[in-house]
Structure 1
Amino acid sequence: MDVVTIGETMALFTPDMSGMMRYAKSFSMKLGGAESNVAIGLSRLGHRTGWISKVGNDEFGKAMLSFISGEGVDVSRVKVDPSAPTGIYFKELRRADDVRVTYYRKGSAASTLSKLDLDEEYIAKAKYLHITGITPALSESCAEMIDEAVNIAKRSGVKVVFDPNLRKKLWNEEKARETLSELAAKADIVLPGIAEGEFIFGESDPEKLGQLFLNHGVSIVVLKLGAEGAWYFSKEKNVKVAGFPVERVIDPVGAGDGFAAGFLSGLLDSLSPEQAVERGNAVGALVTMVNGDVEGLPERDEIEAFINRKNDDVHR
């Protein structure tokens, strides 16, 4: 297994019209969750991925298992809970620069995840464990489970990749800052945005933030800058890699997960740091051009053509 990831995926409902959701008369159902988005993104790029989670014994949960396994992700460690529902959320596309998300996940099946739901041998066989700051915010048992998963990975020599993915609506800021800081300190690779770095350290300058994370014990920091690209920081190298221009952003939600999938794919393919970040930037850009969390995640030939086209344009 190349990458194992842990977290909640929900049924996603989007109005079939833009503007205020109160006027919507019909909705399209998709599926979305940061961790499964990354697993699917990596699978489409040819890597072996597994997803650990829990779903309800309902139609949403059944659709989720069918869809995610159909994308080539191993779901053998996903449990079905007959006593709790699968979470849902709504994505309101008011206008191109105003996308609002509302979650209905309290008491969901995934929020009941605990240490007992982990398979130590399954995690130990992976090259990377991917986690986010969303899962520990769901419940105390979820927080304990993520901590134990990290401990298993550390004992087994599995590299831990942490995306803070801050969701302020899920918990109080003091607890969020403490938990995200602790997880970052335990991780080998951290993938924050500027706002998340500022939330943790109170600093917004990219180069200072990179150094703060390194001083915190992280080996590699990739600081996402949105359309501008990303900074790569390690003890050996600090480099900014330009992003890919997008003429029209359709849906920015999921772009960070696309970046994580592209960057990890680059590491798995033994690309240079700059090339791995470039792949992450490219996947993130492509995701923003399509409505939906995973619908814009590219396959390998598509991402290579996208990157080559940009590089050809630069060198003409």
Structure 2
Amino acid sequence: MFYRENCADMALRAEDIDEQQIASSKALLITGTHFSTDQVFKASSQALDYAEKHDVKRVLDIDYRPVLWGLAAKADGETRFVADQKVSQHVQRILPRFELIVGTEEEFQIAGGSTDLLTALRTVRELTAATLVVKLGPQGCTVIHGAIPARLEDGAIYPGVRVEVLNVLGAGDAFMSGFLSGWLKDASDERCCQLANACGGLVVSRHARAPAMPTPAELDYLFSSPHPITRPDQDVVLQRLHQVSVPRKLWRQLFIFAFDHRGQLVELAQQAGRDLSSISQLKQLFVQAVERVEAGLRQRGIEADVGLLADQRFGQDSLNAATGRGWWVARPVEVQGSRPLAFEHGRSIGSNLLAWPQEQIIKCLVQYHPDDEPMLRLEQEAQIKALYDASKVSGHELLLEIIPPKDHPSSHPDVMVRSLKRLYNLGIYPAWWKIEAQSAQVWQQLDELIQQRDPYCRGVVLLGLNAPVEDLAAGFAEARHSRVCQGFAVGRTIFREPSRAWMAGEIDDAALVSRVQSTFNWLIESWRESRA
């Protein structure tokens, strides 16, 4: 089945084409489909006029689909070729206007009006001096600059990537993107075809179309592999590169208010005789404080980002209010205080993530020590690995908060470095780490470890553990030279006393917001002073 009617691109009119946009481009790529109706033919022709006027390279992807030319039924969408002289003549009208023409064997046959490929190519060559790129399926492709050879084999055949095909949709778009990425940089035919074939091969090996397009990092890995990768969908490194090497939001220094606490706030509410619904009201006031802090940073021209940590149980309204405004937003999944680690919504953590907005980050606190009793350590590691695997499927970033148990007999300063190294050895690569304050020496070790093991790591944020503000400031100073420490995520130090007073009725909403804002700002200034 191939249904494509009344779609936006086919509704383009000539007056919709922006001359300045085309003039600012290196190349204009048009598909044959966008010449298949009178209206879109005029729009595409207008675009070509502008491209010629401004010396923009012009590229045609023949992209012949009989069903879109009315030559096959919608249920016959897989049919790749139906000979039709009218279509051939129509396509031939536009061939002289392009500098690069790309197509499969069947597409060049329709363009040349012959079921014999070489005859069709010679007809095309009579009409245009463009470079011709002929896609040959699993064999790869060939590039023809001048006269058509007696046999395609007389020219260079650039081999394709041998993979198990899972889905053919998107292969042509991927091939074209790969070829153009080299062609627009004046790369050799061999390099252009290597990129094109690899892009096409990776896309057909995945169950997706546009989201399956590879990144340069994936291609570099594929090309450097000492052995063929016939199942890219099962290659762990490729899977990870596909997620982390895409363009992502760039965060500046991060100032995060962490109020995903549940048990501590329940205790405060009960001590004050307040209904638990008051916790949700409290957390909505926290959002107001973050808003004010952000406004103050913007007013002062400080380059930084704000964020919050809030839970689903009492902070759903806060999460809703924070999402979609460019803040760093994370929410917890762990049962608070659990050791071994347990998840709030049961073992099927992945099913819970399906309902999360994509921008929200998974936060998981683990009381972990690499010298834990083996059965406990293995159970916790299995839970962390399950969460990491679920995050890869859902596409959410993962933050692991690692806190060594306070009652553990081993408290060597290198415990954090060893903990991260152990989790990396297990194939767990969270986007973020959240850890306690460390010495400058340990920060240097963490910098080296993360750079070596995971250069795509987004960074580390410092937690507070209800420490006095002076202690937190000292921790900020120790981390001032760290390359991976991006900021802080502090909670009780900011909210505990104002929340107690608010729950007890000693202060009103405005005073609560003001006090929270004041302490939050104090920590921000301490952070900035440590880096001055």
TM-score class normalised by the smaller sequence: 0.5 to 0.7
List alignment gaps of at least 5 residues for structure 1: 1-100
TM-score normalised by structure 1 residue count: 0.61
The CA distance in 1 between the partners of 2:198 and 2:53, in whole Å, is: 33
Does the 8 Å CA contact 1:279/1:307 hold for their aligned counterparts? no
Structure 1 residue 153 displacement after superposition: 0.8
Map 1:29-48; keep pairs closer than 5 Å: none
2:51 to 153, 173, 182: 153
Equivalent of 2:162, from 224, 245, 254? 245
Q: Is the 8 A contact 2:134 2:142 kept in 1?
A: yes
Whether the 8 Å contact between 1:162 and 1:189 is mirrored in structure 2 is: yes
Of 211, 222, 225 in structure 1, the residue corresponding to residue 136 of structure 2 is: 225
Distance 1:108 1:258, change over 3 A: closer
TM superposition score normalised by structure 2: 0.37
Distance 1:301 1:178 in 2: 42
Q: CA RMSD in A?
A: 2.4
For the residues of structure 2 that align with 1:110 and 1:129, how far apart are their CA atoms? 15
Name the structure with the higher helix share.
Answer: 2
Paired residues of 1:190 and 1:222 also in contact (CA < 8 A): yes
What's the secondary structure of 1:130's corresponding residue?
strand
Tell which has more relative contact order, 1 or 2 (C-alpha 8 A, sep 6+). Answer: 1
State the secondary structure of the residue aligned to 2:179: helix
* Pair 1:197–1:236, CA change in 2 (3 A): closer
Q: Select the structure of larger CA radius of gyration.
A: 2
Q: Where does residue 165 of structure 1 map in the other structure?
A: 63
Q: Which runs of 5+ in 2 are unaligned?
A: 71-83, 149-154, 230-532
* Aligned partner (choices 170, 179, 185) of residue 254 of structure 1: 170
1:201 maps to 2:112: yes
> How many pairs are equivalent?
210
Shift of 1:175: 4.0
Match of 1:133 in 2: 32
Q: Do 1:133 and 1:166's aligned partners in 2 also have CA atoms closer than 8 Å?
A: yes
Deviation at 1:220, TM superposition (A): 0.5
Contact 1:206 1:231 in 2 (8 A): no
1:75 maps to what in 2? none
Percent identity of the aligned residues? 26
- Distance of 1:257 and 1:218 partners within structure 2: 23
Which structure shows the higher strand fraction?
1
Letter in 1 for 2:124: F
| 1:123 to 2:22 alignment | yes
Task: Look up the match of 1:24.
Answer: none
Q: Distance in 2 between matches of 1:203 and 1:311?
A: 40
Amino acid at match of 1:169: V
Shift of 1:232: 0.4
Paired residues of 2:109 and 2:121 also in contact (CA < 8 A): no
**Number of the residue aligned with 1:25:** none
Q: 1:140 to 1:203 in 2, by over 3 A?
A: closer
Question: Which letter does structure 1 place at the counterpart of 2:2?
Answer: T
Deviation readout 1:71-108 (Å, 9 max, x if unpaired): xxxxxxxxxxxxxxxxxxxxxxxxxxxxxx42142x33
